[in-house]
Amino acid sequence: MWRFRGTDVAAARALVEAAFDAGITLFDTADIYGPDNNEDFGAAEALLGRVFAEAPALRDKMVLASKGGISMGVPYDSSPAYLASAIDASLTRLRCDNIDLYQIHRPDLLAHPQEVARALDDARTAGKITAIGVSNHTPQQTAALAEFLPVPIVSHQPEFSALTTAPLFDGLFDQAMARGMAILAWSPLGGGRLANPQDARATAVAELLDKKAAETGVDRAAAAYSWIMAHPARPIPIVGTQNAARIATIPDAYKPQWTRAEWYDVLQASMGEKLP
């Protein structure tokens, strides 16, 4: 919901309902979503809150995820006081009393993980959030936070695509599999670089995705999502389209099936070299 924007509540509700129609139940937003769209801080949450006000039943149908810890101009603040205020502000904008999955958006290097854990667990025990996740955290940062929490960290949200493959090698996917954490892969189309390749590396990856897409009658995006989903960590692509017709095609990601050789061909094209 990074690009979820505007003032047309009917149009916003139509996008939410289109996602449900496509079988999507996880909606991932954040308090910082707004300024990137030339809107106010919290605008995406506030728009979703207006949708809930109009159609309260939609809230209960979804897994609602949000994020906090980015403060305009700071840039990061995961101090207990700030996190407590950020969670309350998100709930106010969303017009609900609970967030299913609350994630620290980016690590605050000046916050001790014990302080962060205390703030998150206080919100959890108060019923304001149900589960705790992290976004853009290293495995080591995640492990440090987990040491001070009485409940597991349930999710990682890294950037991951056929063009951004670091989580395969930096231990993040390994940690997620070892701990049973969900992976929410943001920018699964490489920030648009797979849709519109601008260099030889992206072009080579796109050509392999197109080959797989042609076999099953889907588009390149579906092939890119399916490549992500083929990993045994079972990553969930966070799809950002704000077009109802495009939302309807998201389930096409289940159609392509990758052989090991095909999957590794894409990875090696992305790396620009053969694996040893």
| Residues taking part in catalysis | 33
Question: Is 101 within 8 Å of 122 (Cβ atoms)?
Answer: no
Q: Which residues make Cβ contacts (< 8 Å) with residue 6, sequence separation at least 6?
A: 12, 47
| Vertex 202 angle, CA 200 and 204, to 5° | 65
Rounded-to-integer distance, Cα 181 and Cα 159, Å: 16
How many CA atoms, within 13 angstroms, populate the side-chain half-sphere of residue 32?
16
Cβ-in-10-Å burial (0-12, 13-18, 19+) of 109 comes to exposed
Tokens 């969303």 belong to 94
Strand-pair partners of 27: 64
Tokens 């769209």 belong to 37
Rounded-to-integer distance, Cα 210 and Cα 220, Å: 5
User: What three-state secondary structure class fits 133?
Assistant: strand
- Give the DSSP H or E segment for 154: strand 153-157
Strand-pair partners of 156: 134, 183
